[in-house]
């Protein structure tokens, strides 16, 4: 099977490889997302069209015509070179595409450029103590008072709330409407009076997410995306982008390459783990799953190129991708033996402890953005058109 994309694209691939050859030393490696090095790298990538590639120039992007194959080549080459393809996060991967689709011109002008440049960091205020998988049951309220919304309630698991400049937040504005039609989508600053953030320590021992409380938080009326009461449609547009970004097959390929290298160096009883048939068999199984993810990604790609529906193929990305990464990182922990159990500042750590932290992080991503069980429900009901599960409405 010939999977090359033709001469124009192979020339483009060479161009990307050349860029990486010349600039890879400038790429950040684990620095803070606010550091100068990260922000400079982001700008360099935008200027060369390797991130924010199709975002129009008037909003700070590179302004290229959409070309799915070029996008794919960039992702592949950056993965092969093990170089950061720029910033991600909820603002860039979820809010920006949604604003491009549903935002007003003023919102696009105000938010997209600083967000893609990494200067404006966002958090996502969806989940509440009583509304996770059943998100439409959310209760945080916003009532209109003159030219302002007044927000009251509580969110939970709000990743990066403690460092975010802004939040995109789901609130109930029409308490008497059916639950999916009573929600609106607001944008507001995280330093607005009345917001309290309490950190939640997760099993990586970092406090990456938070409880976020709102008491009479005043938000200008125009900071709403979509119409009042139509926040559910906006939220679903965002969840599609979030799920796409959580199962990236190229990131899995980068980690697979790193794992293969690790297995060439780790030994057991004097034998390299890569030469041990049991561990090599486990590596092959993971490699097979990474390849399956990449070919599924190609299926999505060719469906898009041919204007065909890729919904079902897209639906499995989050489910398969996050579970695959959890297993991949877990294999690395196994092959390191007792060193695999080391953590934090242990001097014997390999690769700065990234295998251990990613293993735990991806357990979180199996839950975040919609759990695996919910993904399976979506695939069976909407993808395979199996009977829908009975809806049990909460009382009260
Ligand atoms: C790392 C991480 C980051 C997150 N970041 C954010 C964020 O930034 N912003 C935000 O708003 N939220 C965030 N979340 C929250 C996340 O979206 C929710 O945890 C998730 O939607 C599940 O909701 P829940 O925790 O309330 O679990 P529940 O909905 O209470 O589910 C509990 C269990 O029941 C299962 N279950 C529930 N309903 C069904 C069903 N109908 N069929 C089968 N099984 C079912 C679930 O799969 C799960 O195993 C994050 C979560 C994690 C882990």
- 66-95 residue pLDDT tens: 887 898 899 889 988 889 899 988 999 899
Mean pLDDT of 31-51: 95
Q: Is 361 in the pocket of ligand 1 (CB under 6 A)?
A: no
Higher pLDDT: 361 or 285? It is: 285
Provide the pLDDT confidence category of residue 99 given band limits of 50, 70 and 90: very high
The Cα 323–Cα 301 span in angstroms is 22
In a domain, 292, yes or no: yes
Q: What is the pLDDT of residue 396?
A: 43
pTM of the full structure? 0.90
Q: What is the pLDDT of residue 337?
A: 92
pLDDT digits (tens, 9 = 90+) for 294-332: 899 888 888 877 888 888 888 888 899 999 999 999 999
Higher pLDDT: 394 or 38? It is: 38
In a domain, 111, yes or no: no
In a domain, 235, yes or no: no
Mean pLDDT of 195-216: 94
Q: Which atom of ligand 1 is nearest to the CA of 127?
A: 11
Q: Ligand 1: distance of its center to the CA of 364 in Å?
A: 10
Do 135 and 211 fall within a single domain? yes
Residue nearest to atom 40 of ligand 1 (CA): 374
Provide the pLDDT confidence category of residue 197 given band limits of 50, 70 and 90: very high
Q: What is the pLDDT of residue 131?
A: 96
Q: Which atom of ligand 1 is nearest to the CA of 155?
A: 11
Do 189 and 271 fall within a single domain? no
Q: Ligand 1: distance of its center to the CA of 173 in Å?
A: 23
Q: Rounded to the nearest 10 degrees, what angle do helices 277-305 and 249-265 cross at?
A: 160
Residue nearest to atom 19 of ligand 1 (CA): 368
Q: How far is CA 374 from CA 134, 315, 342, 361, 380, in A?
A: 10, 11, 33, 19, 10
Do 212 and 327 fall within a single domain? no
Do 267 and 362 fall within a single domain? yes
- Domain with 214 in it: what CATH number? 2.40.110.10
- Report CA torsion sign: 294, 299, 305, 311: negative
Q: Which atom of ligand 1 is nearest to the CA of 134?
A: 29
In a domain, 2, yes or no: no
Q: Is 346 in the pocket of ligand 1 (CB under 6 A)?
A: no
- What is residue 69's three-state secondary structure? helix
Do 214 and 255 fall within a single domain? no
In a domain, 97, yes or no: no
pLDDT over 90, % of the chain: 72
The Cα 371–Cα 339 span in angstroms is 30
The Cα 184–Cα 361 span in angstroms is 30
**Please, are residues 274 and 286 in contact by the beta-carbon 8 Å criterion?**
no
Higher pLDDT: 1 or 138? It is: 138
In a domain, 58, yes or no: yes
pLDDT above 70: residue 243: no
Mean pLDDT of 12-25: 97
Residue nearest to atom 44 of ligand 1 (CA): 373
pLDDT above 80: residue 3: no
In a domain, 157, yes or no: yes
242 is a catalytic site residue: yes
The Cα 19–Cα 5 span in angstroms is 20
pLDDT above 50: residue 395: no
Q: What is the pLDDT of residue 7?
A: 87
Q: Which residues are CB-contacts of 352 (< 8 A; sequence separation ≥ 6)? A: 30
Do 214 and 295 fall within a single domain? no
CB-based burial of residue 351 (10 Å sphere; 0-12 exposed, 13-18 middle, 19+ buried)?
middle
Q: Ligand 1: distance of its center to the CA of 327 in Å?
A: 20
Do 129 and 81 fall within a single domain? no
- What is residue 99's three-state secondary structure? helix
Do 367 and 252 fall within a single domain? yes
19 φ/ψ angles, rounded to the nearest 5 degrees: -60, -45
Do 192 and 295 fall within a single domain? no
Do 282 and 330 fall within a single domain? yes
pLDDT above 80: residue 367: yes
Mean pLDDT of 237-253: 74
Residue nearest to atom 12 of ligand 1 (CA): 127
Do 338 and 264 fall within a single domain? yes
Q: Which of 242, 266, 323, 329 is catalytic?
A: 242
The Cα 307–Cα 208 span in angstroms is 39
- Which range marks the domain in which residue 164 is found? 122-228
Mean pLDDT of 222-237: 93
Structural domains of the chain, count = 3
Q: Which atom of ligand 1 is nearest to the CA of 160?
A: 8
As given in the structure block, the two tokens for residue 312 are: 């079902």
The Cα 387–Cα 143 span in angstroms is 38
Residue nearest to atom 5 of ligand 1 (CA): 159
- Domain with 312 in it: what CATH number? 1.20.140.10
In a domain, 100, yes or no: no
């Amino acid at each position: 099977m010939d999977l090359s994309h033709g001469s124009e694209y192979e020339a483009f691939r060479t161009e990307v490889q050349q860029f990486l050859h010349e600039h890879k030393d400038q790429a950040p490696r684990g620095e803070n997302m606010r550091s100068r090095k990260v922000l400079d790298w982001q700008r360099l990538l935008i200027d060369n069209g390797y991130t924010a590639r199709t975002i129009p120039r008037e909003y700070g992007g590179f302004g290229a015509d959409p070309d799915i194959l070029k996008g794919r080549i960039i992702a592949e080459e950056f993965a092969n070179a093990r170089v950061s393809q720029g910033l991600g996060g909820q603002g860039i991967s979820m809010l920006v595409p949604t604003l491009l689709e549903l935002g007003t011109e003023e919102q696009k002008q105000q938010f997209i450029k600083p967000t893609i440049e990494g200067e404006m960091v966002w958090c996502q205020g969806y989940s509440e103590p009583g509304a996770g998988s059943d998100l439409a049951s959310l209760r945080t309220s916003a009532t209109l008072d003159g030219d302002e919304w007044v927000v009251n309630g509580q969110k939970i698991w709000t990743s990066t709330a403690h460092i975010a400049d802004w939040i995109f937040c789901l609130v109930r504005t029409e308490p008497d409407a059916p639950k999916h039609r009573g929600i609106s989508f607001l944008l507001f600053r995280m330093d607005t009076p009345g917001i309290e953030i309490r950190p939640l320590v997760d099993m990586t021992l970092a406090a990456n997410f938070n409880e976020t409380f709102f008491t009479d938080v005043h938000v200008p009326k125009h900071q709403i995306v979509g119409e009042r009461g139509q926040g559910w449609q906006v939220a679903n547009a965002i969840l599609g982008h979030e799920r796409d970004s959580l199962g990236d097959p190229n990131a899995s390929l980068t980690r697979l390459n790193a794992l293969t290298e690790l297995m060439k160096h780790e030994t057991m009883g004097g034998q390299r783990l890569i030469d041990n048939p049991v561990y090599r068999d486990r590596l092959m199984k993971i490699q097979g799953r990474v390849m399956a993810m990449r070919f599924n990604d190609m299926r999505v790609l060719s469906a898009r190129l041919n204007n065909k529906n890729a919904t079902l193929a897209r639906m499995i990305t989050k489910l398969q991708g996050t579970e695959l990464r959890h297993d991949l990182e877990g294999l690395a922990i196994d092959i390191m033996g007792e060193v695999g159990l080391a953590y934090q500042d242990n001097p014997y750590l390999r690769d700065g402890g990234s295998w251990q932290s990613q293993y735990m992080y991806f357990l979180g991503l199996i839950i975040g953005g919609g759990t695996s069980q919910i993904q399976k429900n979506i695939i069976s009901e909407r993808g395979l058109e199996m009977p829908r599960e009975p809806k049990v409405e909460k009382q009260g």
